[in-house]
Amino acid sequence: MTNKYIAIEGVIGVGKTTLARLLQPRYDAAILLEVVEDNPFLSKFYQDRERYAFQTQIFFLLSRYHQQYQAVPAALRRGNLISDYTFAKDELFAWLNLKDDELAMYGRVHAALGEKIPRPDLIVYLRADHDVLMRRIALRDRPFERDMDPGYIREVSAAYDAWLSRLNDMPVLTIDTNDLDYLSRPADMERIIHLIADGVANAAPQPAGPVDSRLQTLQQGRLAAFQQFHRELDSLKGFEGDLFFNYLLLMEEIGELSTDLVRVWTESKRRLVDGRGPAETLEEAIEMNRPDLRNDLADLLAFILKLANYTGIDLEQAYMEKMRLNLGRTWPAERGAAEPAGHEG
């Protein structure tokens, strides 16, 4: 049975985290909870939305990305996963709070990062009327929510309805929670359990979409075909060919790969016990981290291909020419010897 990823969504105060915690033991699942309180701009945002919107939104975007990029794939390799938010919903708040150049810049970053985040098998959308939401927010009495404008909650609620009505690449189960108290009434919780079970069972496979038809290009197994795939993907997704922005994303991926390799090195050294050799422990450490290494190396290749496109370089031809030069060179047998004229990198 394939491990399931269920994400709970809804307006501030609707009860997402409470439901996620209650579902966790039912599905014997890992749980991923959104970190809200750590945003240093949030309380100021609720006091002055226009002034602090961009800082608040970018902090949330990067925080959610870094949390989900590692945690979601790792959790799904072990079992089921319940989360109290989706990465995709981040753009909903950007639409509400950002304008013009800030929204355009945000959109480019969100699109680039969102490609790397696994999608839920089911989104459970909890709805509630405005007065119910305001009552629940008041009851939990979070300090940074005390100055919240009730009108903002109305805007968020309307934005959620609009966003999820247009969402056609992820299955959505909508549950009206106005009269439900799944924390105190077991019957209400059982009702939700049955609704979610039916939702997971009936969730149609995510549509392949036009991108998948272009994967035939990749099956040619040539770098030129890979570059063509990324040209078509950029056009389909509306990605801008921003050379320096994609360079920054490449640097971020190098950082991710560096983290993976440090983890491999640390784990291999930790296992050097009971007379075991370094080759054996290194292979074990690589095996433990191979899924992350695989993903990060693939991302690195993707950004290198994109940079080649944006600079008008046929990467396959350039690689072949460079390797022909390298075949005619000799390199020192020992590290630290004098470098030959030119170098491989």
Backbone angles phi, psi at 179, to 5 degrees: -110, 15
Q: Is 131 a catalytic residue?
A: no
Run of H or E including 143: none
C-alpha distances (whole Å) from 237 to each of 85, 112, 232, 241 are 23, 10, 9, 11
Of 28, 38, 84, 212, catalytic: 84
Q: How many Å apart are CA 56 and CA 144, to the nearest integer?
A: 13
C-alpha distances (whole Å) from 283 to each of 98, 263, 278, 293, 311 are 48, 13, 9, 13, 38
List all residues 6 or more positions away from 13 whose beta carbon is below 8 Å from its beta carbon: 133, 134, 136, 137, 140, 145, 153
From the list 91, 103, 101, 98, the residue with the least C-alpha distance to 50 is 98
Residue 343, CA atoms < 13 Å, CB-side half-sphere: 4
Are 31 and 72 in contact by the 8 Å Cβ rule? The answer is no
Q: Which residues are catalytic?
A: 84
